[in-house]
Amino acid sequence: MSYSLPISLLRQYCFCPRIPYFQELLKLNPPKPVWVKQGEDLHKGQEKIFKHRTLKRFNLVQAKQEFNVFVSAEELQLHGMVDSLLNSNEEIYPIEFKLNGHKPVKGQILQLTAYAMVAEYQYNLPCRQGFILFENKGKTHPIVFKLKNKEQVVIIRDQILNDLEKSYLPDSPATPAQCTQCEYLNHCNDRS
Protein backbone atom coordinates (compact mmCIF):
# COMPACT_ATOMS: atom_id res chain seq x y z
CA MET A 1 0.00 0.00 0.00
CA SER A 2 1.38 3.44 -0.92
CA TYR A 3 1.84 6.31 1.49
CA SER A 4 -1.30 8.44 1.98
CA LEU A 5 -1.28 12.13 2.91
CA PRO A 6 -3.63 13.69 5.45
CA ILE A 7 -5.83 16.09 3.48
CA SER A 8 -5.44 18.80 6.13
CA LEU A 9 -1.79 19.05 5.04
CA LEU A 10 -2.90 20.60 1.73
CA ARG A 11 -4.41 23.54 3.59
CA GLN A 12 -1.40 23.78 5.88
CA TYR A 13 0.95 23.68 2.89
CA CYS A 14 -0.90 26.68 1.44
CA PHE A 15 -0.32 28.48 4.74
CA CYS A 16 3.36 27.49 4.74
CA PRO A 17 5.09 24.79 2.63
CA ARG A 18 7.34 23.84 5.56
CA ILE A 19 4.57 22.44 7.74
CA PRO A 20 4.47 18.94 6.14
CA TYR A 21 8.19 18.58 6.94
CA PHE A 22 7.63 19.26 10.62
CA GLN A 23 4.40 17.34 10.92
CA GLU A 24 5.06 14.26 8.80
CA LEU A 25 8.84 13.84 8.84
CA LEU A 26 9.82 15.11 12.27
CA LYS A 27 6.47 14.04 13.76
CA LEU A 28 6.47 17.14 15.92
CA ASN A 29 3.33 17.58 17.93
CA PRO A 30 3.44 21.01 19.57
CA PRO A 31 0.69 22.00 22.02
CA LYS A 32 -2.41 23.12 20.15
CA PRO A 33 -3.07 26.85 20.19
CA VAL A 34 -6.24 27.85 21.99
CA TRP A 35 -8.09 28.59 18.73
CA VAL A 36 -7.67 24.98 17.60
CA LYS A 37 -9.47 23.79 20.72
CA GLN A 38 -12.16 26.42 20.12
CA GLY A 39 -12.54 25.06 16.61
CA GLU A 40 -13.11 21.56 17.95
CA ASP A 41 -15.78 22.78 20.37
CA LEU A 42 -17.44 24.77 17.61
CA HIS A 43 -18.68 21.82 15.60
CA LYS A 44 -21.45 20.81 17.92
CA GLY A 45 -23.12 24.24 17.75
CA GLN A 46 -22.71 24.50 13.99
CA GLU A 47 -24.53 21.29 13.26
CA LYS A 48 -27.84 22.92 14.12
CA ILE A 49 -27.18 26.19 12.30
CA PHE A 50 -26.20 24.36 9.15
CA LYS A 51 -29.25 22.14 9.24
CA HIS A 52 -31.79 24.87 9.66
CA ARG A 53 -30.48 27.39 7.18
CA THR A 54 -28.72 25.62 4.41
CA LEU A 55 -30.45 22.30 3.92
CA LYS A 56 -33.63 24.10 2.93
CA ARG A 57 -31.87 26.60 0.73
CA PHE A 58 -30.15 23.89 -1.30
CA ASN A 59 -33.09 21.53 -1.27
CA LEU A 60 -31.15 18.98 0.74
CA VAL A 61 -33.52 18.44 3.64
CA GLN A 62 -33.92 14.77 2.75
CA ALA A 63 -30.17 14.14 2.51
CA LYS A 64 -28.56 11.99 5.19
CA GLN A 65 -26.02 13.96 7.21
CA GLU A 66 -23.06 12.47 9.05
CA PHE A 67 -20.42 14.22 11.12
CA ASN A 68 -16.65 13.65 11.44
CA VAL A 69 -16.49 11.20 8.57
CA PHE A 70 -13.22 9.46 7.71
CA VAL A 71 -12.64 9.34 3.96
CA SER A 72 -9.75 7.82 2.03
CA ALA A 73 -8.80 6.83 -1.49
CA GLU A 74 -5.70 4.78 -2.06
CA GLU A 75 -5.79 5.78 -5.75
CA LEU A 76 -5.36 9.43 -4.75
CA GLN A 77 -2.95 8.82 -1.84
CA LEU A 78 -5.17 11.05 0.30
CA HIS A 79 -7.22 10.56 3.44
CA GLY A 80 -8.80 12.70 6.14
CA MET A 81 -11.66 13.48 8.46
CA VAL A 82 -14.27 15.75 6.91
CA ASP A 83 -16.43 17.70 9.37
CA SER A 84 -19.65 16.56 7.75
CA LEU A 85 -21.00 14.81 4.67
CA LEU A 86 -24.45 15.08 3.13
CA ASN A 87 -25.58 12.10 1.08
CA SER A 88 -28.69 12.47 -1.09
CA ASN A 89 -28.16 9.00 -2.63
CA GLU A 90 -27.51 10.75 -5.95
CA GLU A 91 -24.76 13.15 -4.92
CA ILE A 92 -22.48 13.73 -1.99
CA TYR A 93 -21.62 17.09 -0.39
CA PRO A 94 -18.68 17.69 2.00
CA ILE A 95 -18.96 20.44 4.62
CA GLU A 96 -16.27 22.16 6.67
CA PHE A 97 -17.01 24.32 9.74
CA LYS A 98 -14.59 27.18 10.45
CA LEU A 99 -14.43 29.31 13.56
CA ASN A 100 -13.42 32.59 11.93
CA GLY A 101 -13.27 34.14 8.50
CA HIS A 102 -15.25 36.10 5.94
CA LYS A 103 -14.56 34.34 2.71
CA PRO A 104 -13.04 30.91 2.01
CA VAL A 105 -9.29 31.16 1.31
CA LYS A 106 -7.40 29.06 -1.20
CA GLY A 107 -6.18 26.46 1.31
CA GLN A 108 -9.71 25.89 2.65
CA ILE A 109 -11.13 25.53 -0.85
CA LEU A 110 -8.43 23.03 -1.84
CA GLN A 111 -8.95 21.05 1.35
CA LEU A 112 -12.69 20.80 0.67
CA THR A 113 -11.98 19.92 -2.98
CA ALA A 114 -9.69 17.09 -1.85
CA TYR A 115 -12.43 15.72 0.43
CA ALA A 116 -14.78 15.84 -2.55
CA MET A 117 -12.34 13.95 -4.79
CA VAL A 118 -11.80 11.25 -2.17
CA ALA A 119 -15.51 11.00 -1.29
CA GLU A 120 -16.35 10.39 -4.95
CA TYR A 121 -14.11 7.33 -4.88
CA GLN A 122 -15.32 6.10 -1.53
CA TYR A 123 -19.06 6.48 -2.16
CA ASN A 124 -19.03 6.07 -5.94
CA LEU A 125 -21.26 9.13 -6.23
CA PRO A 126 -20.66 12.47 -7.96
CA CYS A 127 -19.49 15.32 -5.74
CA ARG A 128 -19.87 18.66 -7.50
CA GLN A 129 -20.45 21.04 -4.64
CA GLY A 130 -19.69 21.43 -0.96
CA PHE A 131 -19.99 24.05 1.77
CA ILE A 132 -17.76 26.06 4.10
CA LEU A 133 -19.48 27.58 7.10
CA PHE A 134 -18.00 30.44 9.15
CA GLU A 135 -19.21 30.46 12.71
CA ASN A 136 -18.34 34.11 13.43
CA LYS A 137 -20.52 35.34 10.56
CA GLY A 138 -23.02 32.49 10.67
CA LYS A 139 -22.58 32.32 6.92
CA THR A 140 -22.43 29.29 4.64
CA HIS A 141 -20.46 29.51 1.39
CA PRO A 142 -21.30 27.01 -1.35
CA ILE A 143 -18.16 25.85 -3.18
CA VAL A 144 -18.41 24.41 -6.68
CA PHE A 145 -15.54 22.01 -7.36
CA LYS A 146 -13.69 23.34 -10.39
CA LEU A 147 -11.32 21.35 -12.56
CA LYS A 148 -8.50 23.84 -11.94
CA ASN A 149 -8.82 23.32 -8.18
CA LYS A 150 -8.78 19.54 -8.57
CA GLU A 151 -5.62 19.89 -10.64
CA GLN A 152 -4.14 22.12 -7.95
CA VAL A 153 -4.87 19.48 -5.30
CA VAL A 154 -2.88 16.93 -7.31
CA ILE A 155 0.00 19.36 -7.91
CA ILE A 156 0.29 20.24 -4.22
CA ARG A 157 -0.08 16.60 -3.16
CA ASP A 158 2.80 15.66 -5.46
CA GLN A 159 4.90 18.56 -4.26
CA ILE A 160 4.43 17.53 -0.62
CA LEU A 161 5.16 13.87 -1.41
CA ASN A 162 8.28 14.91 -3.29
CA ASP A 163 9.50 17.15 -0.46
CA LEU A 164 8.89 14.41 2.10
CA GLU A 165 10.64 11.77 0.05
CA LYS A 166 13.71 13.98 -0.20
CA SER A 167 13.46 15.16 3.43
CA TYR A 168 13.49 18.64 1.99
CA LEU A 169 12.69 21.71 4.11
CA PRO A 170 11.44 24.19 1.50
CA ASP A 171 11.87 27.94 1.52
CA SER A 172 8.85 29.68 2.92
CA PRO A 173 7.10 32.84 1.76
CA ALA A 174 5.39 33.07 5.18
CA THR A 175 5.21 36.59 6.55
CA PRO A 176 6.26 37.52 10.13
CA ALA A 177 2.55 37.80 10.95
CA GLN A 178 2.01 34.21 9.82
CA CYS A 179 5.07 32.93 11.68
CA THR A 180 3.99 34.46 14.99
CA GLN A 181 0.78 32.43 14.91
CA CYS A 182 2.55 29.23 13.80
CA GLU A 183 3.00 26.33 16.21
CA TYR A 184 6.35 25.43 14.57
CA LEU A 185 8.01 28.83 15.08
CA ASN A 186 10.55 27.40 17.57
CA HIS A 187 11.78 24.99 14.89
CA CYS A 188 12.40 27.53 12.13
CA ASN A 189 15.90 28.85 12.77
CA ASP A 190 15.61 31.58 10.15
CA ARG A 191 12.49 33.07 11.82
CA SER A 192 12.05 34.79 15.13
Binding site for ligand SF4 (CB under 6 A): 16, 18-19, 172, 174, 178-179, 182, 184-185, 188, 191
| Shortest reach from residue 173's CB to ligand SF4, in Å | 9
Q: The dihedral of CA 139, 140, 146, 149: what is its sign?
A: positive
Return the amino acid letter for 32: K
Alpha helices (runs of H) in the chain, residue ranges in sequence order: 8-15, 19-20, 34-57, 106-123, 147-165, 176-180
Question: Which is nearer to ligand SF4, 125 or 185 (by Cβ)?
Answer: 185
| Shortest reach from residue 58's CB to ligand SF4, in Å | 36
Question: For residues 170 and 17, is the Cβ–Cβ distance under 8 A?
Answer: yes
Burial class (CB in 10 A: 0-12, 13-18, 19+), 91: middle
Question: Which is nearer to ligand SF4, 34 or 147 (by Cβ)?
Answer: 34
Question: Which is nearer to ligand SF4, 59 or 173 (by Cβ)?
Answer: 173
Question: Which is nearer to ligand SF4, 129 or 172 (by Cβ)?
Answer: 172
- d(CA 192, CA 185) in angstroms, rounded, equals 7
| Shortest reach from residue 81's CB to ligand SF4, in Å | 23
| Shortest reach from residue 151's CB to ligand SF4, in Å | 25
